[in-house]
Amino acid sequence: MTVDILSAHLPGDRVRPLLRTAEAEDGIAAFSEAFVQGLDDVRVNHSHFLAEDRGKVVGCAGVAEDGSAELVVHPQRRREGIGRALAEAVRAHNPEAGLWAHGNLPGAQALAAALSLKIDRELLVMEIDAGDIPAGGVRLPEGFEDLDYDAAVARWGRDDVDKQWLAVNNDAFSWHPEQGGWDLQRLRRAREAEWFDPAGVRLLFHGDELAGFHWTKRHPDGTGEVYVVGLASAHRGEGMGGPLMQMGLEYLRGKGSPQVILYVESDNEPAVKRYRQLGFEVRESHVVYR
């Protein structure tokens, strides 16, 4: 039986059923939020390769501009060389590409071994039950204020708030391959997500200056997420990291989230230690093979 590897442009309608089938089988999504968006949104500028058998999509790989890639193969068509063919198409497109393996499942490990790839990066998913979130509310020093996005916009205007948010993000994540180096278009595009809630964006102001932000997310099952939390370098060392974290956790608990998750680089030992001290424990591991 012949499987063809084809380049495809915005193949969302054809790939989404495959993603749902794979997630039901694996218990974890093969594509991250950004790669799902890239299936339909030309602005994301992802490249795609489809594995087709007699017109039916049995596998897909997406490649981002930064060289990160994700792939999925239909559960009933695994161990036929489709994953390897997709991975080789990705590497031909970009020899430096890194292949994400969400959950680092046995099939991904086998594919990496076959291609002599090694783990280059590990992203941990940590979780805490809402009942274990430290109590006591948010205590901010004099001069600091917790506002949601809409309240800040009403006071200072959308352009000013967005510019400050962007500046703090790029300052806090200057080292990060996905979160750093954003522009206003990317920030505003991120807010187009179906789940976006301006009340879930907690902004820490010191007077009219944005000191930090805690962008939360709520999943369809109610799970809360510390989506992005960033503190401006000018306010580091002032003890504001804890209150900033608590601002988002309190919001998610108040919305009824039974548990809260977050993503953190495994080699960011200070952050992992801090989250463990708050009560978070590792639930999943996502890795990049190169």
* Residue 218: how many other CB atoms lie within 10 Å: 19
153 and 106 housed in the same domain: no
54 and 133 housed in the same domain: no
First CA to last CA distance, the chain: 30
On the question of pLDDT at 3 being above 90, the answer is no
Last residue of a domain, one of 117, 142, 164: 117
190 and 56 housed in the same domain: no
**How confident is the model over 197-213, as a mean pLDDT?**
98
Q: What is the pLDDT of residue 2?
A: 67
137 and 254 housed in the same domain: yes
- Does any domain span residue 138? yes
- Does any domain span residue 184? yes
Q: Residue 245: how many CA atoms within 13 Å on its side-chain side?
A: 17
- Does any domain span residue 122? no
- Does any domain span residue 290? no
For the chain, percent of residues with pLDDT exceeding 90: 96
d(CA 104, CA 125): 12
CATH number of the CATH domain containing 11: 3.40.630.30
Q: Residue 272: how many CA atoms within 13 Å on its side-chain side?
A: 13
Q: What is the pLDDT of residues 30-46, one digit of tens each?
A: 999 999 999 999 999 99
- pTM score, two decimals? 0.91
Q: What is the pLDDT of residues 5-23, one digit of tens each?
A: 999 999 999 999 999 999 9
For the chain, percent of residues with pLDDT exceeding 70: 99
- Does any domain span residue 88? yes
Q: Which domain holds residue 248?
A: 127-284
200 and 135 housed in the same domain: yes
143 and 276 housed in the same domain: yes
64 and 153 housed in the same domain: no
165 and 276 housed in the same domain: yes
Last residue of a domain, one of 117, 147, 164: 117
Residue 209 banded pLDDT, cuts 50, 70, 90: very high
3-class DSSP state of 220: coil
Q: Work out how many domains the chain is built from and give that number.
A: 2
8 and 94 housed in the same domain: yes
- Does any domain span residue 279? yes
Residue 1 banded pLDDT, cuts 50, 70, 90: low
Q: What is the pLDDT of residue 28?
A: 97
State how beta strands 281-289 and 259-265 pair: unpaired
Q: What is the pLDDT of residues 155-194, one digit of tens each?
A: 999 999 999 999 999 999 998 888 999 999 999 999 999 9
Q: Are 45 and 74 in contact (CB under 8 A)?
A: no
- Does any domain span residue 35? yes
Q: Closest Cα partner for 242 from 271, 208, 210, 209?
A: 271
Last residue of a domain, one of 117, 140, 160: 117
